Structure formats: C-alpha cells, structure tokens
Structure 1
Amino acid sequence: MKAFVDAPTCDANGNRLTRTVNSVTEDYAYDDADKLLEVKIGQQTVKEFTYDSAGRTTAVETSAGTTSLTYDYESRVTGITYPNQSTNSFTYNGLDTRVGMTDSGGSKTFLRDGVSVTSPVLSDGAATYTPAISERRSSSTTFYHAGIKNGDSQSSTGQSVTASVQYDAFGNVTSSSGTWSGPFAYGGPYGYQSDPDSGLKLLGHRYYDPSTGRFLTRDPIKDGRNWYGYCGSAPLVRTDPTGTVTLVFTGTKLKWFRDDGTLVDSVPAFSGAPGKGRRDQGQRGGPIPEGTYSIDPNEDQYATYNIFAYPWAGYPPSPAWGDRRIPLKGGPDVPGRTGGYFLHGGEFVGSIGCIDIGPNDIKIIDKLGKLTKKIKLVVDYMDWNGTVPSSDNNKPVKWKEYLQQRQ
C-alpha cells in the first residue's frame, strides 16, 4: 500500500505542528524547550514522550506500551527496551563511533574505513560492504541503486530487482516490495544506518526518528533555535548540512561537529596543569575557562620554532606546543590572563590555560587550516568531573604513556 503524505506545517522554530498521512492529521505539542510532548489524532493521544534533565528522550508511550531508552555520559544510546521486554544494546569506542550492537538479528561488530563516526562501514560481522555499491552476505552479493539521497532498489548478480522502497522526505516508508537487505537505504549514500527493530536511524553521533522528523537528543553544539531539528525541517532538499564547523572541548576530548550535530572526529584533549579540574577555572594552572571562542583558519601555525617551557617544577624544559598551534579568540578573561589561548600539541598531557591535543595536533590543526570560514569553539565542562591526568604527587604524564594506558 502506498502512503500519501502532505507536507507538515511547522512553527517558527521548525517544530512540526501537523502532518497528514492518508487524510489522517496528526497534531504535535511541545514545551518551551522544543521537546516534543505528545502526538494526537483528533482528541486521542497516540504517542507521549518523556525526557531526562539533559533533554534526552527516555521513553515513548504508545497503545502498545512503553519503549525505554538509556544513554551513556556522552548522550549515546546504549540500550532500548520494547513493550514486549525485548532489548537492543549498543557499544561505542573512545572516539564515539558505534562499534557493536545486539538486536533481534543477533550481535554485530562494525568495522569502518577510518576512525570517525561518519567513516564508511566495511563490515558488521554478518556482511561486508562496498559503500554505496554493494554488500556481500554469505555467498550472495546484492547491489544498491540510489537516487541523489536514498537507496531505492537492490538487485542480484543476475540483474533482477530483489527489493525496492520509496520514502517521504523524512525517511518514512511510503511503498516497498521485496525484502531490503542491510542498513543502508534512506540516506544510505550518506552513511545513514537504519536499525530494523526500532526504526531509528543513526546519523553519525545521534539517533534520528523519522516518524517525528526529530533527533532523540539535543544538538551537542547547541547551535540555532531548535536543538532537536533535522535538516532545518527541509529534508527534501537537504541531507546533513556541512557548511559550518564547531569544535567542542569537554575537558577530556576535543570534538569536531558539523552544523547539524554530526560528529566528524573526536580526540583526547586536556587543559590545565596535572591534577587540575573544572573547579580550578580562573586560578593559576587551571583549565581554559568555559565559554565560546573562535578560530581563524588563516592563523594556523607550523612550529618553525617552539617554546621550551618549565610548566611543572622539577622537570626539564620540553616542547610545549607540539608541531602545530592555532590561536583561540574571544572567551572570558581570567585573573592575570587576558586571552593568549591556543589549541596546540605537546609532549606532556595538559597545558596551563590552552587546550592540548598532544600527537593529534598535526591532523586536527592542518584540517582546520584548510577551511574557509571562522570556526566556533565551545568549552563546556558540564560532564567533566575528573582532573588532568597525572602521576604520583601531581607530576605530568607523557601523551605516549597516557594513550598506551587507554588502549
């Protein structure tokens, strides 16, 4: 059966107010923070949503019962429990990439062509993939055929069509035939992964619900007026916008986001002397203060020279800036220091006031230098409760040793 979907109406923040499917109109209600509270058909509530204090969707109530979701400290979905008490579970690596899942089809382990959350999936333990071209499962090869945005049909090696599917702009199936193989369909050419049990789609860092046209969690870079919105409520002409880059420093990681909240890269990062933490902001040896900074790509600097500093008493001087550095503009002033912050590398973990990304300085700063627009950097310690790594007596730790311990 083919579904006929009218274009939704939206408010000024891009929240869907109504949607009509096969002449049946749904009405949507929100709170002042753009959280979707309920969906009604006529006077009957067909969906209700519950959130935690971080604005993450934790429960969806329908006539079938309650679907519950759990998250880790990075707001990544770790588990889903359905009304029949069946479950899905998800695991991630230190770079925020989903590396495993268990659902009704069994357990899968994902191998990607790269380390970022948008790197193409090459295998999941059950099948191997040539991204946007084909998949091989057991001894059978299936080929993908796609339009500009979506996979719309699959064929066998004998060139016969084995499955076809059509979507509305938000990713809801409007017609289909056969049985689609694999997770890459709606948005498949862009790496969107559809989870068969939940109907959710993993778009890099966040899960997206096509039935509501919204993400389950807030935009981690908190950009724009609506932190749950997808493609500016115009998915017919957009996928994930890529025009703007935002960096977020969390106290332990530097994360690179596209403007839609898709996580592109994540590397270990620290600010402050050994043993210092968020409570030491504004004090000598403390981390860079929370706030919003900017980076000019034209100011990336190759370390043709390098300062040798004595950042911690009792240690010989060492290269304090690594091989690359780039200045950070703006942000709040602190006692005894007005600006002068940098993003840089270094031999030892931590930096008095700057953001230290250790051996990742070349990779990250060279990429920043190739951009054409100014970059926003947000320092947000909301989830940082620890301190800068140190050995006994708050002595510094070399990056090489720190990274080896985390492997």
Structure 2
Amino acid sequence: MLAAMPPTPPPTPDPGEPRIRDRGDACPGALRLHSADDGRLARLRLPGGRLTSRQVEALADAAEALGDGRLSITSRGNAELRGLADDCGAQLAALLDEAGMLPSPTHERVRNIVASPASGLDGLGAADVQLWARELDSHLRSAPWAAALSGRFLFVLDDGRGDVAGLGGDVTLVAVRGGEAELHVGGRAVRLASSDAPGAALAVAGGFLAAARRAGTGAWRVRELPEGYAVDVAESGVTARPVPAPELPQGPPLSPGVLGPSALSVLAPLGRLTAAQLRALLPAGEVRLTPWRGVVVAGAGADRLPALDAAGLITRRDSPWAGVTACTGRPGCAKSLADVRADAAPVDAAPGPAHDHPGGPGGPGHMQAPLLPVHFSGCERRCGHPHGAWTDVLATAGGAYLVDGVPTPRTALPEAVTAARTTR
C-alpha cells in the first residue's frame, strides 16, 4: 500500500505582492459563535474595554450558566466566553442585550476600539480618550456602511502617554495638549482639533473601504492595501494639517497597583478571570478591560488591593505572573501541541521585577527595568501574542519548547524563560 502523500503547501507570495482575500474574515462575535474543541466561543467587543457593574455581573452569570465559568481577556481588551453549548446562542444574545452589551446586532463585530485604560483616572495624558471611544462607537453604529469593516479592523485611541499607540491600529488617534489630536493611518498623520477626532477616525475608515474596493484585493486591514492604494485622508473628507514626520508616542503598559486617587490596576492570571474573580471587582464605578489582559477598577482605593489579591488577581508589579500570557492551548484548541497554560504555571516560581518605589532594592528612587512580556504559544500561529518585544515560548511536536528559538525541555522552562525575559 502506498503511503499517503502530505498535502502540497500553497505557494509563497513574492515579497511585496498584495495579499488577496477571497472571503470575509471569520472572527467570532457575540452572535457569530466559533466552534472550538472545548465548545463554542463568543467574543464580545467592548469599546475602550468599558463595563458597568451590572455588565460585569451579567458576564459572571453567563460564564457560569452557559460557559466554562471563566472570562478570557483578549489583547484588544475585549472579552471571550468559552465552553458554550451549541444551542445557547439565543440565550446568550438575550442576556447580553438585556445588559446593554449588544447595542447593534449588525455592527457588533466592528466595534474594535482600544483606548488608554487609565485615561481620565490618574491625571496623566493630554485628554480623556475614553470620551472619544464612546463617541466613535456611536458614530460606528450609526453608519450602515461601517458594518462592512472587517472584524479585525482596529481603532486605537491614545491619550498621549503612548501606552496603546503601538498596538497596530488601522486608524490611531493620539491626544495632543492644547486641544488637538493626531490621526495616524498607513504611516501618515494629520493634526486636527480634538473635538473632530472621533468623526475623522470614522471618515478615514470609510476611506479605507473605498481604497480596498478600488484595489480589489479584499483587504481586511490598512496594511494589506497594495502599493498605490493608500488611504487618502483629504479624499475621506477630513480637513487637517499634515504632520511632516509622524511618530507615534511610546510608553509602558499599565502596571498593577494604584492609579490616581480612586482607581486600581490588576492583571488576570494568564488572561482569564473566574466568575468569582469578576464579582470580586465589584463594587466599582466602572471596570475597564485592558489590552494587557488586565482590569482597571474605577472608584476603588488602595484598601481594596488585599481583597483582590486574595481573590487570585495580580495586584503587584513584582508578581512573577505579571506579563505572562498564553494562548488557549490544549484541550480547547485542536491546533495546539501542548497544554500551554499548565506548562506556564511553573514559571510563577521565577523571580519578578522589583517595586519601583523609594526604598526598594537599590535605595530611594531605584527602578529596576521591567521584565519582557512572555507568551506561551501552542502552535506557530502564536495567537494573542503581545506587541513589541516579548519572549516567545513555542510548543513543539516533540513535547519540548522553543524559548526564543532555543530548544528547551518542559522541565527547564522556568529557568529558561526567566533568563530570556531579563536579557536585553
């Protein structure tokens, strides 16, 4: 008997050749559930990551009643419910609608808006871009044509501190002091009035759709447009001044701890929250999920940190779990070669960075450089990996891992990951 021949891989496109999309994206949503090995998956778009206390409670109820009892936080600050039954779609939609998390069934997958999570809470930043997020979301839902955007098209709103500007937005707004904003798209930027920023972001998204139609390649993202089909801001109807040498601000992500007079930042271990941990965030004036798989709790003071720590949330910057993320892995994903979440657990025995407050190691005012983020991936797709520099921990078919390309036995992961994270 002849052995079966392996499938022939598709040809590799020439460098610079435009990608041809012959179908719409398959991103899951709240109404379009994705089938995974652990059941159905729902992804909820949360502009600016914002949730009311009522919505937090509703998600905890949904996770317990319909899913696996947990909520996953994505690298865009959205929420995922996993382990859903095949026939729960209508019940889930009704629950989300009743809690105000499904304001537009036709546009629910295109509400991809990341905003600086601490904006308006800690006194930093040039403007409260969470207000932009609300206005842009309203504009999106009011424009019938915006439903044609891909579920991967991303708006990024940075308040000037540079925490989210580098997250690869298709349209990026950056607040500038003096009541102005910069709009960045496709490597170009313009300066305009802050009050015009949300409307301009929507107009440029329309300009992208027009450019994609002209190109005929079915592009989902701005970076996929072929040469000669750049988004023209002026043709999109935006009146603004060009920025001669556009540059996005770069700043660190939020660390766990106190934010300003009445807000806290915590991280979810490996990006997942149990229903009990969700409820531990309450009471809160508002909860914001972050692109670093964390949560900002508005209306909470430092006295809440011990309770959140006891609930299993990451409340300290020196926690070895800070900055450690993982894809779903086995048994939830058929493509994964390992149970990466279980294999990431021993890493918590490794040392973390020091506190950056006076009196810490090194004397008053000492600040130790933070560790690199580390992401465990079950396959070469590396779903959910961080942006920028990060330590890559990739499962292999033989049961070992590659740590930044170096073969590493599973038993040696804690030491190898710690060494890789601290190497610059």
Band of TM-score, shorter chain: under 0.3
Between Structure 1 and Structure 2, the one with more strand by share is: 1
**Max Rg structure:** 1
Q: Which has the higher contact order (CA 8 A, sep 6+)?
A: 2
Q: Which has the higher helix share?
A: 2
